Structure 1
Amino acid sequence: MQYYTAIMEIITTHINADFDSLASMVAAKRLYPEAELVFPGSQEKSVREYLSQQFRNIYAFKKAKHIHMDTVRRLIIVDTRQPERLGDLIGCLHNRHLSIHLFDHHPDHAGDLTGEYINIADVGATTTIFCRIFQERNISLTPDEATLMALGIYQDTGNFLHSTTTPEDMQAAAWLLTQGANLDVVTQFSARELNAEQVNSLGSLLKNAVSYYIGSVNVVVSKLVLAEYMDDFAVIVQRLMVMENLDAVFVLISMGERLYLIARSRIPEVNVGIIARAFGGGGHSSAASATIKDMTLFEAEERLIYLLHSHIRPKAVAGEIMSSPVIAVPPEVTIHEASNLMTRYNVTVLPVAEKSGNPESGERPRGLLGTLSRMVTEKAIFHKLGSLPVSEYMTTEIATLPPSGTLADIQKLIIEHRQRLIPVTQGETILGVITRTDLLGLLINDPAHMPVDLLQEDESPSVKRSRNLSGVMTQVLSRQAITLLRDIGESAEKLGVNSYVAGGFVRDLLLHVPNSDIDVVIEGDGIGFAKHYAKQKNASVRTHDKFATATVIFPDDTRVDVATARLEYYEYPAALPTVELSSIKLDLYRRDFTINAMAIHLNPERFGTLVDYFNSQNDLKERRIQVLHNLSFVEDPTRIFRAVRFEARLDFQITRHSEKLIKNAVDMHLIDRFTEPRFFYELKLILSESNPMGSLRRLAAFKLFSYIWPDLKPNLKIDRRFIHLITQANRSISWFNLLYLPEKIESWMVYLLAIYSRSGVKELVAFCQRFDIPARQRKKLVQQKADVERIARDMLKRPFMKPSEIYWLLIDLENEGLLYLMTIARKRHIQQAVSLFVTSLKNVTPLINGHELMEMGYRPGPLFRAMLNHLIEVQLDGQVTTHEQATAFICSTYPHSEERPL
């Protein structure tokens, strides 16, 4: 039974309380005898054991869940000042007239609590502060209290070996001995032997340990995954530090559903408390921990490495290594002029600024707008776009640094975000730029600190971005799919070529979404491999020589698309691609978006290894849709519709820079140059999504409706009527799918018919002709539109129809037509009629068949159909329900004397 206690004063500490926390709470009780001791959350295992053995029935500790928060008027907090570490007791902080008293030894941190009384000291343990107070006030302790307080000091100073230990801590411990502290108990709970399970974990940490040289500091990072929670893991980390004589160690442990960081340091260059607080934890400079939320082990490791670079060597270097003066151009300069300027000054990237400045006079550029690369200018000139201003195709999402930027900041932008040029700014002024060459110049004399992915960026993906996904594949893919991929890799190995699975398959795998569309890329002859593999597996193969692709079709109808690693280039904007053989890197670079530009090795030696040259994982994590180069939409405008579709389907966001490039492509009327079947394919995919409304809104926002449906009058727009129609179509399709009928529907047809519901048949015909829709689908669309709209008008006047009338009215409609009828129905009785037809009437068959009619003496002929249709009609209306009734109905309605010979 839950109970609450009304309490005026509370003494508390941080969650996962240690001995320093416990000792400080007990010490505070001597100063605030009326206050209750309340744990805000759990305690360390050793603390729980101590309480059960040593402090039984001495102090009554309460739990936060038993406290009536509104009644608390004074909150005494020890060993922390961070509100987020108070657990449920954080609710007390909102009480009116609350008095807060604070005792803590941790360094100041943003967001720390303040109070009416504050006692903060730079010592190794909070317990030391209370020892000082007791000595000043001549307060004596019991031996049990002295022993507990000694435990607090010994643990938090690492038996006086942590760098945070002060002379005052040792003096406090000496005074506690005079008060009767029992060192045997202190030894029992502070110097503990490892059990077998802990020894195994220690061995795993040693095996997984990786050294990072950051400046002149060697930092060790290790990680471990355990199925269940293990108590006292900090003891294992401390033992690792002592055994290996480490200056600083950071351990990430995944235990069950939670992820933890435990950190220790014995040198002033590494303040582990700052790192732990960045993860939402706490501690001091030599010992700290955190419970990490909303991150995977991999993400936490990446974040940790970045924080180490940021905080261990925070020396300002940006202002020292930047190149100056800066060559910049204003936004109105043409691409041709910018290209000439790059050639003159031998630079590959130009900043674009509102005021370009004058390098010769020392006037610096101001108002950074973006950057323009030589690659973009050359592509633009090739496409006859050199007369356009640079503002049309500059990259706008550019990160800058102040002169105080650190080496870690520079490496993050140049290596992780692949930004080849970093503007160094102060306010609106561009002071200088940092290039990859500048960074290499800084690091070249210190190769131990050289990131591997910077040195080999053009030859291989970065180490951080090359990880093995075999475990993820096992979790997400079926055994059959994994076997197929391994088999493809082994076949490629025998032929001496490299094989990969690439594109959306890899994207969905990282999102933990199954995807059966396997897109294999071969570094070599893709068609030749497909033919060889198909022959081995008794499968058929379809080739597409123009695009160097093939499809292998297995006997069970499983399909695998095989492509030659290729580089696509475009003869002119919106042209079909011309294909040349290339490597996997160039093949991925031709992809539409970064999230689709990843591959996985399939050859046995590297099976499951991710290939990510473009930091695609980061865009996937940040849920961004981003093109790989600035002329992407110029070369292939259909990518606009793919971007819109992926944004809605994945719940991602098109980046602002990519949005700008889309608007440029629309303003240049590149949509008019579409090869119509390719365009319609993309539109059909959008309309085949579970709910295309979000994508349609985006298309309208990009002003694309007038290109897609130019024949509709008035011009189509997202208004209340349009939203209602699409919503009704979505509901109709969802209703049909939930019936789990064996028939499949082409949902895109239903949405397209809904869009054309306010126009005539001729507008729909014009749309079909414009986009070269196949004849079968064209006929179906036009027929269903005409029939449904005629039937809708008829049913509107007939609110009460017999089942047989509904049947004969709807029997010739396709499923798509039926759902279109439900979409445009103005009255509920029409929707109910369609529902009744689909679920009950559509598949009704006569209780008597043709053979039985012949056995009854009727001769086959046109009358058969009339008799059977009549029988279906009376069955539908409930007049005939059994075989006997059906026989009697036929005999009485169609006597043999009335039968006419053929």
Structure 2
Amino acid sequence: MDIITTHIGADFDALASMIAAKRLYPEAVLVFPGSQEKSVRNYLAQEFRNIYAFKKIKHIDIDKVQRLIVVDTRQADRIGRLAECATNPAVTVHLYDHHPDTETDLRGSQEIVEPVGSTTTIFTRLFQEKNIVPSPDEATLMALGIYEDTGSFLHSSTCPEDLAAASWLLTHGANLDIITQFISRELSSEQISLLGQLRQEAHTYVIRGVTVVVSKLTMPDYIDDFSVLVQRLMVLDNIDVVFALLSMGERTYLIARSRIPEVNVGTIAREFGGGGHATAASATVRNLTIVEAEEQLISLLHRHVRPKAMAGEIMSAPVITVTPEVSIDQANQLMTRYNVTVLPVVRTNSDGNGENPCGLLGMISRRVAEKAIFHKLGNIPVADYMTTDIATIPESGTLFDIQRLIVENRQRLLPVTRDDDIVGVITRTDLLALLVNDPAHLSLDLLRSDERPSIERTRHLSSVMTQVLPKNVIVLLREIGEIAEQQGCNAYVAGGFVRDLILQVQNTDIDIVIEGDGIRLAKALAAQRHGIVHPHEKFGTATVIFPDQSRIDVATARLEYYDHPAAMPTVEHSSTKLDLYRRDFTINAMAIHLNPKRFGILVDYFNSQNDLKERRIQVLHNLSFVEDPTRIFRAIRFESRLDFTITKHTEKLIKNTVQMNLFDRVEEPRFFHELKLILSEDNPIPALRRMAALKLFPFLWPDLRPNLKIDRRFLHFLTQANQAISWFKLLYLPDKIEPWMVYLLAIMSRSRTKELIAFCNRFSLPPRQRRKLIAQKTEAERVAQEMQKRPFLRPSETYWLLHELDIEGLLYLMAIARKRYIQQAVSHYVTTWRNVVPLVRGDELKAMGYIPGPLFRTIRNHLIEVQLDGQVGSREDALSFIQSTYPPGAALS
């Protein structure tokens, strides 16, 4: 293997150089030879995204190292046990360092040593020469290494190359806030005390959607360099905007810091007679007490804070529109199909193909359409009755603008426009969700402490992802987000993956949703990871299979509508919001942003977190089961697997669907797929009980007796099947089994074979599975009857009775066995007897003069029998048995 290492007591320059070297040697393993500085450990624990796996020296086999890459040192005594590799002639050594030469330096086949302020500067130059672009996290860490080793460019060892390297890293996303957090001088005990007071007196204000922290202190004497404490407060508490009002002696001072464009602290400081930059400013406040100064500051903030642009972030896109010549009947059908209440009316591009809507003309509502249809005007174009006096908002519109326009104009739908073209819409529901999502807009009296987590609909899940997911999955998700960013689209991971992540359950079944071209992204990902892509153009989806045979599904954000109850869905491209709305249950209708700037932010439009918190299964709309009855089986499966409860309303909708008898309209393989998933659970019995209670058995097994229910005998067979499967899994044998087959056979244990055949035909089971089920049922039940009649079978007799059964058939036999001795015999067969091989091999029989043929097989089978029955226990006994029972002369004749 190749190893990248550095000196013991690694600092940021060492860590950054290791990570940079990893880009040059992607197959190499990162190994710390010993401890790291405390600040580095804190960085790895808090800030670094854990996208690289570091190995401990004790887990490395020194003898397998082929190449050693050493960074930020050339001293053998500073790399611990890895010095054995450095002095081994069979190991290739590459060195990267910026320290002065010494006589004890290691020597390597490649040495890049330059007298600059940090080793990271050398790697930055190599990145530029090799056209390697660092990620923002890598750029931040590399800049951190340069800032630390140059003392923020104040050490005498600093070179122009260091400044140039830092500048280049800043252009590639290096985050100065993070660098400031880890590169700062120690505070005195007095300063620490003052910092504690500053934090204690801090108060948070939300002004026009922007969070601002204001702290004020009164001290008897002037304290120098207080701005350092304000900066430290900002970093420690991750504050975007902070103002400190300090009454020291006879004067009051204002110190301000901001790192967001919405607040220019220089402008506010000038109002107090001071000045500064947009991000850092100060003033001496005259003729005001500290209380009066705070009041004036809050007033100025209300005047000068520029609210965040939000329209472009919260809008739904693409927009479902109609053109003016579309009839009111057609428009009403569209609104029903897509479950919307208003449709924008647009003109089309000059090419006339109608594919690229532009130019907003008006809006038609469902209420107007239904009234027009009532008056027999359904064939009239929407242009005749659309509303034309409508307000619009640009993508840069603020929350205040959105509120004002929706409230003042009483619009259900607020179009978002760009150069007269409609690019998205904001609904009243979107606005309400946004307001509820921000506790600053709600009275604290309305919120109990246990309710607060449920309103965090855009919470950040990066820390949860780090705790729950393997590092390779996090790396994959980040890559997908970066590719999406490059292609100008948005990427999300959605569905059950997000549900299990919030429940802190690992799930590597990754479902990616793309607002854009999902197939294009899948192809780019496959090319980048040397995988294979299987596109499905009709649905805008693709499956990417990686070299390790792992896979992910990539889909273009889409919506589904159903032409009639229980129909197969028709799919169209849509937005993430509508894509989530088509999901089965609220707990599966969440997504997580993957694009770099918003990586890890949860998207929850339907209050799904509350349902997770309350452990309940709930549909997204009342016609969900009518459109797709197979969702009933998914509801039951999730209820059983997650130990959740189907809500009363959802259960009522299930019962309504059962009464409507829609199951015969669904393609039978879809039902069987859901049933198979239920029977593949670790314990499907609770789900089967639920299915029986909801009267679903007659739809699955119409050929069975009408009074089929989970009685004591039925439950006994299922319980024994569960115990048999659990027992087999604990053996950890290499045999693969399909548990659903065992449960299905147990369910149909009191049915005739022809009823199983009818079941297979109805659900269109593949021929292999059909043949296996019928054969195992027939043979296992025959064997059960035979063993019931003959309780004292020899091992060899049991062997020949059972050898035609697969593992599924054997476990089914254990499930239906009425006597304990039958189960014991099967367990002996599975664990021991079926693996018995003759003590004399076939080539030995040939050497003894036996010719392969019927007698040859007879001898081998007879030998297995006497071995099983204990009559032969060694090879010598076996040879003697063969020679006496089957004389060689007889064999030759």
TM-score class, shorter: 0.5 to 0.7
In structure 2, how many angstroms separate the alpha carbons of the residues matched to 1:841 and 1:813?
A: 13
Instruction: Indicate whether 1:693 and 2:685 are aligned.
Output: yes
Match of 2:769 in 1: 777
Match of 1:602 in 2: 594
Matches within 5 A, 1:416-435: none
In structure 2, how many angstroms separate the alpha carbons of the residues matched to 1:866 and 1:475?
A: 60
Match of 1:79 in 2: none
In structure 2, how many angstroms separate the alpha carbons of the residues matched to 1:243 and 1:608?
A: 32
Instruction: Indicate whether 1:623 and 2:596 are aligned.
Output: no
Name the SS for the 1:758 alignment partner: coil
- 1:847 and 1:886 in contact (8 A); partners too: yes
Amino acid aligned to 2:700: I
Amino acid aligned to 1:619: D
Instruction: Indicate whether 1:822 and 2:814 are aligned.
Output: yes
In structure 1, how many angstroms separate the alpha carbons of the residues matched to 2:825 and 2:528?
A: 54
Matches within 5 A, 1:2-41: none
Match of 1:511 in 2: 503
TM superposition shift of 1:447 = 13
In structure 1, how many angstroms separate the alpha carbons of the residues matched to 2:589 and 2:606?
A: 7
Amino acid aligned to 2:792: F
Find the partner of 1:529 among 521, 525, 528: 521
Name the SS for the 2:205 alignment partner: strand
Distance of aligned partners of 1:569 and 1:593 in 2 relative to their CA distance in 1, 3 Å threshold:
same
- 1:709 and 1:716 in contact (8 A); partners too: no
In structure 2, how many angstroms separate the alpha carbons of the residues matched to 1:636 and 1:220?
A: 54
TM superposition shift of 1:544 = 2.4
* 1:274-327 Cα shifts (integer Å, max 9, x gaps): xxxxxxxxxxxxxxxxxxxxxxxxxxxxxxxxxxxxxxxxxxxxxxxxxxxxxx
Match of 1:890 in 2: 882
Match of 2:798 in 1: 806
- 2:530 and 2:547 in contact (8 A); partners too: yes
TM superposition shift of 1:198 = 7.3
Distance of aligned partners of 1:195 and 1:680 in 2 relative to their CA distance in 1, 3 Å threshold:
farther
- 2:849 and 2:891 in contact (8 A); partners too: no
In structure 2, how many angstroms separate the alpha carbons of the residues matched to 1:204 and 1:448?
A: 20
In structure 2, how many angstroms separate the alpha carbons of the residues matched to 1:690 and 1:854?
A: 49
- 2:848 and 2:888 in contact (8 A); partners too: no
Distance of aligned partners of 1:519 and 1:790 in 2 relative to their CA distance in 1, 3 Å threshold:
same
Find the partner of 1:765 among 757, 768, 771: 757
Name the SS for the 2:600 alignment partner: coil
Matches within 5 A, 1:140-539: 210-211=204-205, 449=441, 464-539=456-531
In structure 2, how many angstroms separate the alpha carbons of the residues matched to 1:832 and 1:852?
A: 34
Match of 1:647 in 2: 639
Match of 1:677 in 2: 669
- 2:850 and 2:892 in contact (8 A); partners too: no
In structure 1, how many angstroms separate the alpha carbons of the residues matched to 2:673 and 2:608?
A: 26
Where does the alignment leave 5 or more consecutive residues of structure 2 unmatched? Answer: 1-187, 216-235, 238-242, 247-328, 343-364, 374-402, 404-411, 413-426, 444-452
TM superposition shift of 1:546 = 2.7
In structure 1, how many angstroms separate the alpha carbons of the residues matched to 2:195 and 2:791?
A: 77
Distance of aligned partners of 1:614 and 1:880 in 2 relative to their CA distance in 1, 3 Å threshold:
same
Distance of aligned partners of 1:683 and 1:447 in 2 relative to their CA distance in 1, 3 Å threshold:
closer
Name the SS for the 1:748 alignment partner: helix
In structure 2, how many angstroms separate the alpha carbons of the residues matched to 1:750 and 1:220?
A: 67
In structure 2, how many angstroms separate the alpha carbons of the residues matched to 1:195 and 1:612?
A: 46
Distance of aligned partners of 1:462 and 1:872 in 2 relative to their CA distance in 1, 3 Å threshold:
closer
Match of 2:136 in 1: none
Match of 1:748 in 2: 740
Find the partner of 2:845 among 835, 838, 853: 853
Name the SS for the 1:481 alignment partner: helix
Name the SS for the 2:733 alignment partner: coil
Distance of aligned partners of 1:727 and 1:220 in 2 relative to their CA distance in 1, 3 Å threshold:
farther
Match of 1:583 in 2: 575
TM superposition shift of 1:195 = 8.4
Match of 2:700 in 1: 708
TM superposition shift of 1:203 = 6.7
Amino acid aligned to 1:679: F
- 1:539 and 1:555 in contact (8 A); partners too: yes
In structure 1, how many angstroms separate the alpha carbons of the residues matched to 2:739 and 2:366?
A: 45
Matched length: 505
* 1:189-222 Cα shifts (integer Å, max 9, x gaps): xxxx998887777677789x643689xxx9999x
Name the SS for the 1:600 alignment partner: strand
Find the partner of 1:659 among 641, 651, 657: 651
TM superposition shift of 1:486 = 1.2
Amino acid aligned to 2:842: G
- 2:698 and 2:706 in contact (8 A); partners too: no
TM superposition shift of 1:576 = 0.8
Amino acid aligned to 1:834: V
In structure 2, how many angstroms separate the alpha carbons of the residues matched to 1:839 and 1:782?
A: 25
Name the SS for the 2:538 alignment partner: helix
Amino acid aligned to 2:648: R
In structure 1, how many angstroms separate the alpha carbons of the residues matched to 2:738 and 2:829?
A: 19
TM superposition shift of 1:792 = 0.3
* 1:544-602 Cα shifts (integer Å, max 9, x gaps): 23322111111111011111100111111111111101111111111000100011111
Amino acid aligned to 2:690: R
Find the partner of 1:720 among 712, 721, 730: 712
Match of 1:11 in 2: none
Name the SS for the 2:555 alignment partner: strand
- 1:520 and 1:562 in contact (8 A); partners too: yes
Amino acid aligned to 1:628: L
In structure 2, how many angstroms separate the alpha carbons of the residues matched to 1:220 and 1:771?
A: 68
In structure 2, how many angstroms separate the alpha carbons of the residues matched to 1:690 and 1:717?
A: 21
TM superposition shift of 1:605 = 1.5
Distance of aligned partners of 1:447 and 1:829 in 2 relative to their CA distance in 1, 3 Å threshold:
closer
* 1:763-790 Cα shifts (integer Å, max 9, x gaps): 0000000000111001000000000110
* 1:738-771 Cα shifts (integer Å, max 9, x gaps): 1111112111111110111101000000000000
Find the partner of 2:862 among 855, 863, 870: 870
State, as a whole percentage, how many aligned pairs show the same letter. Answer: 67
Name the SS for the 1:842 alignment partner: helix
Alpha carbon RMSD of aligned pairs, Å? 4.0
Match of 2:288 in 1: none
In structure 1, how many angstroms separate the alpha carbons of the residues matched to 2:635 and 2:536?
A: 26
Name the SS for the 2:748 alignment partner: helix
Distance of aligned partners of 1:198 and 1:851 in 2 relative to their CA distance in 1, 3 Å threshold:
farther
Name the SS for the 1:501 alignment partner: strand
* 1:414-471 Cα shifts (integer Å, max 9, x gaps): xxxxxx9xxxxxxxxxxxxxx979x98xx99x998479xxxxxxxxx99821121111
- 1:753 and 1:820 in contact (8 A); partners too: yes
Give the structure-1-normalised TM-score. 0.52
* 1:236-285 Cα shifts (integer Å, max 9, x gaps): 99xxxx9989xxxxxxxxxxxxxxxxxxxxxxxxxxxxxxxxxxxxxxxx
Distance of aligned partners of 1:580 and 1:871 in 2 relative to their CA distance in 1, 3 Å threshold:
same
In structure 2, how many angstroms separate the alpha carbons of the residues matched to 1:447 and 1:614?
A: 17
- 1:569 and 1:578 in contact (8 A); partners too: yes
In structure 2, how many angstroms separate the alpha carbons of the residues matched to 1:689 and 1:681?
A: 13
In structure 2, how many angstroms separate the alpha carbons of the residues matched to 1:794 and 1:197?
A: 85
In structure 2, how many angstroms separate the alpha carbons of the residues matched to 1:697 and 1:651?
A: 14
Amino acid aligned to 2:646: I
Distance of aligned partners of 1:599 and 1:210 in 2 relative to their CA distance in 1, 3 Å threshold:
farther
Match of 2:267 in 1: none
TM superposition shift of 1:532 = 2.6
In structure 2, how many angstroms separate the alpha carbons of the residues matched to 1:780 and 1:612?
A: 45
* 1:339-389 Cα shifts (integer Å, max 9, x gaps): 99x99xxx989xxxxxxxxxxxxxxxxxxxxxxx989x99xx9xxxxxxxx
Distance of aligned partners of 1:632 and 1:848 in 2 relative to their CA distance in 1, 3 Å threshold:
same
Distance of aligned partners of 1:195 and 1:469 in 2 relative to their CA distance in 1, 3 Å threshold:
farther
Amino acid aligned to 1:799: P
Match of 2:542 in 1: 550
